Amino acid sequence: MLGLGALGVVVGADLQRSTERFVAPLRENDPTGLTDLLPSGGFRYYSVVGHVPTRTPADYVLRVHGLVDRPLDLTMGDLARMPQTELVRDFQCVTGWRVADVRWTGVRLAAVLDAAGLRAGAAALTFRSFDGVYDESLTVEQARRPDVLVALTMLDGPITHDHGGPVRLYVAPMYGYKSIKWLAEIEAVAAVAPGFWEREGYDVDGWIGRSNGRDDEPV
């Protein structure tokens, strides 16, 4: 994993976006990786692959499939037309750093599931990233919580590529590894399948303060 940014330091949205515009072209052309040490909105940059392809709002599609009655291919426009929910919550990483009072907006994951129509045998969801490697999971009960979003904005603006945009998951009460970045697919399945980091030893149910041997304050 690559680190980017100071621990838990929150800067203004305008400064964050300016920094992103400066850092992104440098990172693309920097073989040393030193640009990953530059600050970016109080978050650290994490990727499990060397390069993540870019998808723009114009070409983004979220595929919803598996044990559903109505498979969906949702564009950014489709997601934007669905009822939007705003949350202001901390983002807590399992490695210990936290960014306070992040403003998120997006579609409740429950609304996406309702649009697709879960079949009786669907008990869990598998999420896949368009990085081609990262995957995650939730039970359907967890996914239907009102504080779980298919997020379209964060930090008062569109979600940048480094933050997992244009669309990512935000699972407020769980550690950050559950909030998969670069969201490409949601598959309804019969049982939970451990995700990328769970296969490396992290807890499948990543509740903040109640998992992974940590006692962080819940969000």
Q: Is residue 211 part of a domain?
A: no
Length of the chain: 219
In a domain, residue 121? The reply is: yes
* pTM strictly above 0.95: no
Domain presence at residue 25: no
CB 130 within 8 A of CB 167: no
Q: Give residue 62's domain range.
A: 52-200
Inter-residue contact 18 to 125 (CB < 8 Å):
no
Q: Count the helix, strand and coil residues of the chain and give each as a percent rounded to the nearest 5.
A: 20, 30, 50
In a domain, 207, yes or no: no
Q: Which residues pair with 99 in a beta bridge?
A: 91
Looking at the domain assignment, is residue 38 inside a domain?
no
For the domain that residue 183 is a member of, what is the CATH number?
Answer: 3.90.420.10
Model pLDDT, residue 186: 98
The answer to the question of residue 147 being in a domain is yes
Taking alpha carbons only, the member of 138, 207, 142 closest to residue 173 is: 207
Low-confidence ranges of the chain (pLDDT < 50): 1-20, 22-23, 25-40
Structure tokens at 39: 């600050």
Give the C-alpha distances (Å, rounded to integers) separating 200 from 2, 18, 97, 195, 205. Answer: 17, 35, 20, 9, 14
- Asked if residue 18 is part of any domain, the answer here is no
Q: Is residue 14 part of a domain?
A: no
Structure tokens at 146: 């009102």
Residue 39 has a CB neighbour count (10 Å cut-off) of 16
Number of domains the chain is built from? 1
| Residue 22: per-residue pLDDT | 43
The answer to whether the CB of 127 falls within 8 A of the CB of 189 is no
Is there a contact between 172 and 147 (Cβ–Cβ < 8 Å)? Answer: yes
